[in-house]
Amino acid sequence: MRVPDLSSQRTQVGITIGVMLFASAAALVTREPLVLPVLGLLPLIGIIAFRNPFLMCIGFIMFSFFRLHEAFMFMNPLHIPQMLAIGTLIVLCTHLVFQKIEIAWTRELKLFTAFFAIITVGIFGATGRDLALNYWTDTFVKIFIMVFAIASLARRPRDFGLAMHAFIFAGILIAYVAVYNSLNGLEQVEGTRVTVGRSTGSVLGDPNDLSLVLVFPLSFAASLIMTPRTPFLSRLFGVGGFVIIVWAVLATQSRGGLLGMVAVCAIFAARRVKSRALLITFGVVFLIALFAAAGISGRSSGGSAEAGLVDESSEGRLEAWKAAIRMAAAHPLTGVGLNNYVANYYEYSDWWEGFAKAVHSTWFSVLAEGGFIAFGIFITLIVSVFRITARAVRMCSPQATGAAYNANAYGMAQAIQAGMAGFVVSGTFLTNGFTWPVYILLALAVAMGRYADGIARTSDEVSV
């Protein structure tokens, strides 16, 4: 079969016609007049997407994970996530059919596939099958597809640079809305904790979930600031993003979010501060300062108003973790099912306050909803990401690459490592096991690993 040139004029005309037909169908299905103005841009977007399919992939992540359409409600009628999902699949499948890209298939992706398979099989034995199936179709299957898309499409330093800047930009937009709400007393819970889109039912309407979304781009902003030879404008962009994101996380008053920020900063500080005692001292002082700046003591839950060595919020969290262990013990192979922890809380908890609690822990969430095998694979994946990024940081450093040094590649390697550290720390207190951040980092780590392998092969050929 003859492989068409996706950059040729004839192919681009065909793409334009196809995209316009797809857009027209979308306008008819959605019956939204706001969709029509977008039609004029779609041919151009289609051509750009086929030239660089990673752009479509990044756009989908920005809306699916950062929920931009829920923070800026004027975009909601456009159904952008759905359109980007369809567009991403079309572009990806087209490139696969015409052999323009090769799907990544590494040890880590094999483990992730096994993890996905166990979670999927667990749907059939879930205590609440509808809950599991709905979350699987709405979120988890999209995560599975995008992990392979990111790992396969991110191949060049400019792809890494694009991803870093896009994530920071999305983080700035969400942080801006959070800071605006905080300054104007909008969308708050417990009187002081800011949210985004709580009144409209947004995923960002929980301060802990909002802090999770904000901590993710923080590692990329810090990397732009700290990576050698970063262009001045990019470094300035990173500084601006870092400041407003930290401000927004402070406004959420999420303890998990604050700990995640400290972990991100600690990774970068560890490379520059040789004294471990000084590093630990700085970390403790920084954490205390963040807690004071966030006003944690003023929280109605987990603040100074709750007396005792273990406050009521912490006690409730410990009870939630006990319930998770009991769920895993009762369903050791596949857990109680995806998104089924809350529905099972009453049956497995000794501490009932009249409402079910979230598990507030990534580790116990995976254990309860996925079982012991899935939990073991999940931990292995986390360790694998740290192993890959440690090697990538070493291989892409200025010392190792010399004249071939690329700031985008080295910056991405550092950002993934710091982001995973932030995930591990914040994930101990936030429920992140089946949400986007860790899987985006996994996919980027696989892509970085493949890039580092290319550097190693080039070095070997040069030495020979």
For residue 209, give the DSSP letter: H
The predicted structure's pLDDT at residue 373: 97
CA atoms within 13 A on the CB side of 262: 22
Cα angle: 153, vertex 172, 135; to 5 degrees: 60
pLDDT score for 43: 59
Pick from 337, 399, 341: nearest CA to 121? 337
Q: Which amino acid type is present at position 33? A: P
Query: Rounded to an integer, what distance in angstroms lies between the CA atom of residue 329 and that of residue 177?
Result: 42
* pTM of the predicted model as reported, rounded to 2 decimal places: 0.87
pLDDT of residue 12: 54
pLDDT digits (tens, 9 = 90+) for 205-264: 999 999 999 999 999 999 999 999 999 999 999 999 999 999 999 999 998 899 999 999
Q: Are 391 and 423 in contact (CB under 8 A)?
A: no
Q: What tens digit of pLDDT does each residue of 274-295 get?
A: 777 787 887 788 778 877 877 7
Nearest alpha carbon to residue 296 among 255, 260, 263, 262: 255
Structure tokens that stand for 188 in this block: 């708050």
Give, rounded to a whole angstrom, the gap between the first and last alpha carbons of the chain.
38
Residue whose C-alpha is closest to residue 156's, from 455, 463, 398: 455
Residue with tokens 């993890």: 115
* 293 sits in which H/E element: helix 276-294
Over residues 431-444, the pLDDT tens digits come to: 889 999 999 999 99
Which residues 6+ apart lie within 8 Å of 240 measured at CB? Answer: 172
Q: How many CB atoms lie within 10 A of CB 28?
A: 9
The encoded tokens of residue 252 equal 């959420």
Can you read off the two tokens belonging to residue 456? 């190693």
Q: Are 70 and 197 in contact (CB under 8 A)?
A: yes
CA angle 368, 369, 370 (to 5 degrees): 100
Whole-angstrom CA distances from 251 to 180, 208, 393 are: 10, 11, 33
Residue 307: predicted pLDDT = 45
Q: What value does the CA radius of gyration of the chain take, rounded to a whole number of Å?
A: 23
pLDDT at 101: 74
Alpha helices in 125-254 (DSSP H): 129-135, 141-153, 157-184, 207-226, 232-252
Residues in contact with 145: Cβ distance below 8 Å, sequence separation at least 6, in sequence order = 89
For 179, list phi and psi in degrees, rounded to 5. -65, -40
State how far the Cα of 380 lies from the Cα of 70, in Å rounded to an integer.
Answer: 34
What are the φ/ψ torsions at residue 27 (nearest 5 degrees)? -65, -40
Q: State the DSSP code for 351.
A: -
**Which of 47, 3, 42 is closest to 25 using CA atoms?**
42
Place of tokens 């550092």: 414
- Give residue 119's identity as a one-letter amino acid code: I
Q: How far apart are CA 426 and CA 256, in angstroms?
A: 4
Tokens describing residue 149: 């898309």
Cβ-based neighbours of 167, under 8 Å, separated by 6 or more? 62, 216, 217, 220
8 A C-beta contact, residue 460 and residue 117: no
Residues 338 and 135: beta-carbon distance below 8 Å:
yes
Asked if 89 and 53 count as a contact pair (C-beta separation under 8 A), the reply is no
Note the pLDDT of residue 309: 41
pLDDT tens-digit profile, the chain (464 residues): 444 554 555 555 555 566 556 555 655 555 555 555 555 555 556 666 667 778 888 988 999 999 999 999 888 877 778 777 777 777 777 777 766 678 889 999 999 999 999 999 999 999 899 999 999 999 999 999 999 999 998 989 999 999 999 999 999 999 999 999 999 999 998 888 999 989 888 889 999 999 999 999 999 999 999 999 999 999 999 999 999 999 999 999 998 899 999 999 999 998 887 777 787 887 788 778 877 877 776 655 554 444 444 556 667 788 889 999 999 999 999 999 999 999 998 889 887 766 667 888 999 999 999 999 999 999 999 999 999 999 999 999 999 888 889 999 999 999 999 999 999 999 888 888 999 999 999 999 999 999 988 876 765 554 44
